[in-house]
């Protein structure tokens, strides 16, 4: 009698084990819409271009990247053309990043450094915590030696924990092994390469194919997107497949040229 009871208990345990394993396997193989939705990264920040009222920045906890203007650089002098409507205000309890554009690296780096520091101090005095500095390097032929000196020099000049992020042309690395090797030299001072997906589309490249190629650079990167880009599809089809993708930046009324 006892042996029959033991056999019945063993059979019940085996049956329970089989059922448990079957249910776990079914759950693992079944798509879960809610879980998949959670892995789509939200925007890291809003990029605010010239002429865009700061009141258009959504009232949430995402950071803001404020484009402050462009440097016009000649052999004789370096002048700064400030963006219109970018007077310092307070963005309470959110990260504030500052961005500037230049098309060439001046010989006198201090001309740029002093202006960036002045702008940073002004926004800091308005009650903001300045985190990253974005450099829009608007050129088709980057000077890597000067760029390396510029980014490392700016970081030292600011004497802070500000990260330097570099917004680059999507054509820099297309069929260009030299640029692929040279970019690695700036990793000590540049936290992210940033690609504007609007420029990618304008250059005739497929957004999905481009993101896959960007991952092969093996340098952390961010993507600037606007409403024309399906970020969920872009993430699922390409960005999620590389460990170097760091997130999206949402452009609001962007004009950074």
pLDDT of res. 35: 42
* pLDDT confidence bin for 51, thresholds 50/70/90: confident
pLDDT of res. 104: 93
Judged by average pLDDT, the poorest of 10-19, 22-31, 184-193, 228-237 is: 22-31
Query: Does one domain contain both 11 and 85?
Result: no
Query: Does one domain contain both 7 and 86?
Result: no
Angle at 203 (CA atoms; ends 201, 204), nearest 5 degrees: 65
pLDDT of res. 178: 82
Q: How far apart are CA 203 and CA 199, in angstroms?
A: 6
Query: Does one domain contain both 130 and 212?
Result: yes
Query: Does one domain contain both 73 and 188?
Result: yes
Query: Does one domain contain both 162 and 129?
Result: yes
pLDDT of res. 256: 57
Residue with more model confidence, 111 or 21: 111
Q: Are 191 and 132 in contact (CB under 8 A)?
A: yes
Query: Does one domain contain both 1 and 75?
Result: no
Query: Does one domain contain both 5 and 108?
Result: no
2, 5, 16, 17, 25 from 11: Cα distances, Å: 14, 10, 9, 10, 21
Range of the domain at 155: 37-252
Residue with more model confidence, 6 or 98: 98
pLDDT at 22 over 60: no
Residue 257 within a domain:
no
Instruction: DSSP for the chain, please give it.
Output: -HHHHHHHHHHHHHHHHHHHHHHHHHHHHS--HHHHHHTSPPEEEEEE-TT--GGGS-SSS-EEEEEEEEEEE-SS-EEEEEPTT------TTS-EEEEEEESS--S-HHHHHHHHHHHHHHHHHTT--EEEEEEEE--SS--HHHHHHHHHHHHHHHTS--EEEEEE-TTTTTT-HHHHHHGGGGTTTEEEEEEEHHHHHHTT--HHHHHHHHHTT-S-EEEEE-TTS-HHHHHHHTGGG-TTEEEEEEEES----
Query: Does one domain contain both 17 and 113?
Result: no
pLDDT at 136 over 90: yes
pLDDT at 237 over 60: yes
- Mean pLDDT of the 42-71 span: 89
24-43 tens-digit pLDDT: 554 455 554 444 443 566 68
* pLDDT confidence bin for 143, thresholds 50/70/90: very high
61-119 tens-digit pLDDT: 889 999 999 999 888 889 999 998 889 999 987 899 999 999 999 988 999 999 999 99
pLDDT of res. 163: 92
Q: Are 103 and 134 in contact (CB under 8 A)?
A: no
Residue 139 within a domain:
yes
Q: Are 107 and 73 in contact (CB under 8 A)?
A: no
Please, what is the average pLDDT of the chain?
84
Query: Does one domain contain both 236 and 139?
Result: yes
pLDDT of res. 33: 43
- Mean pLDDT of the 143-165 span: 91
Residue 198 within a domain:
yes
Query: Does one domain contain both 82 and 22?
Result: no
Query: Does one domain contain both 117 and 240?
Result: yes
CATH number at residue 141: 3.20.20.70
Residue 156 within a domain:
yes
Residue 48 within a domain:
yes
Query: Does one domain contain both 204 and 134?
Result: yes
Number of domains in the chain: 2
- Torsion, Cα 242 244 247 250, to 10 degrees, reads -100
């Amino acid at each position: 009698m006892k042996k029959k009871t033991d056999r019945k208990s063993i059979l019940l345990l085996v049956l329970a084990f089989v059922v448990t394993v079957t249910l776990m396997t079914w759950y693992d193989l079944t798509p879960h819409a809610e879980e998949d939705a959670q892995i789509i990264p939200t925007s890291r920040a809003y990029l605010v271009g010239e002429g865009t009222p700061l009141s258009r920045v959504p009232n949430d906890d995402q950071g803001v990247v404020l484009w402050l203007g462009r440097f016009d650089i000649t052999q004789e002098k370096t002048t700064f053309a400030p963006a219109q409507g970018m007077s310092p205000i307070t963005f309470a309890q959110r990260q504030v990043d500052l961005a500037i554009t230049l098309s060439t690296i001046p010989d006198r780096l201090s001309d740029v450094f002093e202006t960036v520091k002045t702008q940073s101090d002004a926004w800091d005095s308005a009650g903001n915590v300045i985190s990253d500095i974005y450099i829009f390097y608007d050129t088709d032929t980057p000077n890597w030696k000067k760029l390396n000196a510029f980014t490392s020099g700016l970081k030292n000049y600011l004497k802070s924990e500000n990260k330097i992020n570099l917004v680059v042309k999507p054509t820099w690395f297309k069929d260009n092994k030299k640029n692929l090797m040279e970019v690695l030299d700036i990793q000590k001072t540049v936290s992210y390469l940033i690609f504007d997906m609007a420029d990618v589309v304008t250059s005739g490249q497929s957004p999905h194919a481009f993101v896959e190629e960007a991952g092969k650079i093996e340098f952390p990167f961010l993507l600037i997107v606007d409403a024309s880009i399906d970020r969920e599809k872009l993430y699922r089809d390409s960005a999620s497949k590389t460990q170097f993708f760091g997130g999206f930046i949402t452009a609001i009324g962007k004009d950074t040229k």
